[in-house]
Amino acid sequence: MHEVPIATAIVEQAIQAVAPHRATRIDLVEVQIGRMRQIAPEALQVAFAAVSEGTIAQGARLEIAEIEMEAVCRKCGQRFRPEIGLYVCPKCHQADVQIVAGHDMILKSITAQTPEESPPA
Ligand SMILES: [Zn+2]
């Protein structure tokens, strides 16, 4: 299950991000994950629940959004959305492409409880 290390990274990053605010509990974590990671959202939810146990992120909701893959053809510069395992340029039919999006895991936002009222941003 390769979702576990990703869940661990999400929990660690979320806790680090709210640490300066002395957060007591994390309610919601929103992440964006590139399609190339081939994550099963249900498996990631299960892994997240297991990994966050005993931390301030325990019981937090995890919202997962997928990032579409994007490639640029090195021959003609065409930008397109490839399928996994099918990286052929639709314009010049070369398979010499660079993947420019779709392999990242981005922590988009975190909602947490803090001890005092935060000043308006
Ligand atoms: Zn091309």
pLDDT digits (tens, 9 = 90+) for 28-82: 999 999 998 889 999 999 999 999 999 999 999 999 999 999 999 999 999 999 9
Please, what are the domains in the chain? 3-68+102-113 (3.30.2320.50)
Could you tell me the distance, in angstroms and rounded to a whole number, from the CA of residue 85 to the centre of ligand 1?
A: 17
- Decide if pLDDT at 14 tops 80: yes
The neighbourhood of ligand 1, an ion, using CB within 5 A, equals: 73, 75-76, 78, 89, 91-92
Could you tell me the distance, in angstroms and rounded to a whole number, from the CA of residue 68 to the centre of ligand 1?
A: 19
The Cβ-side half-sphere exposure at 117, using a 13 Å CA radius, reads: 2
